[in-house]
Structure 1
Amino acid sequence: MDIALLSVSMNVYSTKRIAEEAQKCGHYIELIDHTKCSVKLGMDKPRIYHREEDITNEFDAIIPRIGAKVTRHGVAVVKQFEMNGVFSTARSLSIARARNKVRTLQIMARKGIPIPETLFSINPDNIKEQIEILGGAPVIIKIQEGTQGLGVILAESKKSAKSIIDTFYKMDTSILMQEYVEESNGEDIRIIVVGDKIVASMKRTSELGEFRSNVHRGGSTAKVKLSAKEEYIALNATKYLGLGVAGVDLIRSKKGPLLIEVNASPGLQGIEAATGINVARKIIKFVEKNGLRKRK
């Protein structure tokens, strides 16, 4: 198969691993920087260009690894590949939904997937009341499109929460607030779903003095055994968003497991190291199965 790997650099661990496994499986794989792609529309068939090269009919499948800062353009490029009949491990609409935390949580709430108590607003005049609606401080404040723990703040008092929220509102930054689940104790669970199967899972624990457990924030990792409820949440959250490959993040609470977010381009470094599972190979096998079927 000929596969396009949509990513900005081969120096990124996850991108490099996926490319390595594709080559080991005998496929041609090419790094396509989606920020350097253009889509030409008109009376003729739409064309996709990478710099000046026409790549419209060059690939059987694409693996999108779209960065947060270029989501809109990356999604448009993925959409054009889809419309041209190319298989993608993540649909354009699914990427857009997963990148927006509020949209993801709205879908999960409608489908009955348990999530933390969450509130979002753009009204700067009743911040105090918003905090009270959520149950009071402490609260977690999140930028709606942040990744890797960036834009996630713990406000331990009403005063600090009000100050932080007011600042974001003045910066015209979209945020959401969530209850602080103290019993999660700086731990969360990352589950990788490929197709309709859970292929790997790990527990992430924050370093001392840090409540965010992301590996990029210095968190440690370890294997974890999932409960039946956790498996159910991960598989169904992925299905409801329409993703072929996803990283699902959960926390454990007194009320049971709660979904935090779903990542359409999950990192592989931490989970491959923690579990010893070749997740990149699982992704390539998924592409083989579905890309060939779509090409036929």
Structure 2
Amino acid sequence: MTYYIAVDIIRHDEKLIIEAFKNLGINAVVIKVDSELLPLVDSKTLEGSLVVVRPLSAYNAIYSAVAFESMGALTVNSSKTLYLCNDKILTYGCLIREGLKVPKTYIALSSSPLQTVSSRLQFPLIDKPPIGSWGRLVSYVRDSVDLKMISEHREFMGPLLKTHVVQEVIGLGKDLRCIVIGDEVLGCMMRKASDGEWRSNVALGGTVERYPVDGEVAELAIRASKAVGAEFAGVDLLIGDGYYVNEVNGVPEFKGFIKATGIKVHEHLVKYLVSSSKR
């Protein structure tokens, strides 16, 4: 088995994955996907290979995974999983079909239906586009005036950004990130928003701390990961009157998770990949 790591930017996380392979005596080949001409062919060029898909850009991840799969490689995660995880609406669809609890959600395919949102949801509410990461363009909407301003601003953006995912507010300012590998939850951390910020993303200055994993949390995280077909996922849970699945990340960052929990995600991931590829 030959192992590859597909990247566009080599971050700290990817360096740890490379190191974990080396510690097992494996020299994984790094492919910088944005610098290569990737063939899209029906061949067995990479049969017997496994590619860890780690580009920062969501579409670089999806498209490169498609190319590697066309050449016969196994990919973690698969292009289908990455595609589903990249779109919040598609993710919610998968979660709902599996009977998982998600926040009360409505989709507006243009700004026009937003005029009736107050008959379905109470203000304040959350408005976000179906794509994006690190909390970008996720808005806390206090009233109809806020909503009108947000919708007018988004009308000048790309087609997907004109779509609105409108949700009830649950557990504002904190959430859980659980790391799932295969059928195992490695652990969970709680993320808390920094002063003056309501979004809990670590990229926006959120703080992290270890969160105890009980049976309910573990089951939810594993079911959410499986709903999108992921082998390695970051599952985000909101805490309200119980737990709600909010997102599944198909290329999860884990530097903050290691800081919070001390769990060496890269070592667990690589051992799982090597073990799985030998079955």
Aligned residue number for residue 276 of structure 1:
262
1:192 aligns with 2:191: no
The AA in structure 2 aligned to 1:165 is S
**Partner Cα separation in structure 2 for residue 198 and residue 150 of structure 1:** 27
User: Which residue matches 1:65?
Assistant: 54
Matches within 5 A, 1:118-133: 118-133=105-120
SS of corresponding position for 1:66: coil
Runs (4+) of structure 1 exceeding 3 A deviation are 39-42, 56-59
1:157 maps to amino acid: D
Aligned counterpart, 1:25: 24
Q: 2:193 aligns with which of 184, 197, 206?
A: 206
Q: Given the alignment, which residue of 133, 141, 144 partners 2:127?
A: 141
Structure 1 segment 1-12 matched on structure 2, within 5 A: 1-10=1-10, 12=11
- TM-score, structure 1 length as denominator? 0.87
Matched residue, 1:101: 88
Q: Does 1:288 align with 2:274?
A: yes
Q: Sequence identity, in percent?
A: 25
Within 5 A, what are the aligned runs for 1:164-203?
A: 164-171=150-157, 172=159, 173=161, 174-181=163-170, 184-203=171-190
Task: Select which of 117, 128, 140 maps to 2:104.
Answer: 117
Tell me how many residue pairs correspond in the alignment: 276
- TM-superposed CA distance for 1:106, in Å, is 1.1
Match in the other structure for 1:239: 226
Quote the Cα distance in structure 2 between the aligned partners of 1:15 and 1:105.
Answer: 28
**2:227 & 2:47 partners in 1: Cα distance?**
30
Which whole-Å CA distance do the structure 1 matches of 2:30 and 2:63 have between them?
18
- Could you list the runs of 5+ residues in structure 1 that have no partner in the other structure? 48-55
Mapping for residues 254-265 of structure 1, pairs under 5 Å: 254=241, 256-265=242-251
The farther-off stretch of 211-220 and 172-181 is 172-181
What amino acid is aligned across from residue 189 of structure 2 in structure 1?
A: M
Aligned amino acid, residue 62 of structure 1:
V
Q: After the TM superposition, which of the residue ranges 113-122 and 26-35 deviates more from structure 2?
A: 26-35
Q: Please state how far the C-alpha of 1:41 moved relative to its aligned partner.
A: 5.0
Instruction: Provide the rounded CA distance (Å) in 2 between the counterparts of 1:126 and 1:76.
Output: 33
Alpha-carbon offset, residue 180 of structure 1: 1.2
Confirm or deny that 1:155 pairs with 2:141: yes
CA RMSD of aligned residues (A): 1.9
Distance in 1, Cα, partners of 2:214 & 2:126: 26
2:146 counterpart letter in structure 1: S
For 2:55, the aligned partner's letter is I
Change beyond 3 A, Cα 1:132–1:35: farther
2 CA distance for matches of 1:67 and 1:132?
39
Q: Distance in 1 between matches of 2:250 and 2:189?
A: 17
Q: Determine helix, strand or coil for the equivalent of 1:149.
A: coil
Contact 1:37–1:77 at 8 Å: present in 2 too? Answer: no
TM-score by length of 2: 0.92
Structure 2 gaps of 5+ residues are: none
Q: Is the 8 A contact 1:35 1:74 kept in 2?
A: no
1:248/1:261 contact within 8 Å kept: yes
C-alpha separation in 2, matches of 1:123 and 1:57: 43
Q: For residue 37 of structure 1, what is the aligned residue in structure 2?
A: 36
C-alpha distance 227-200 of structure 1, shift in aligned 2 (>3 A): closer
C-alpha deviation, 1:67, in angstroms: 2.8
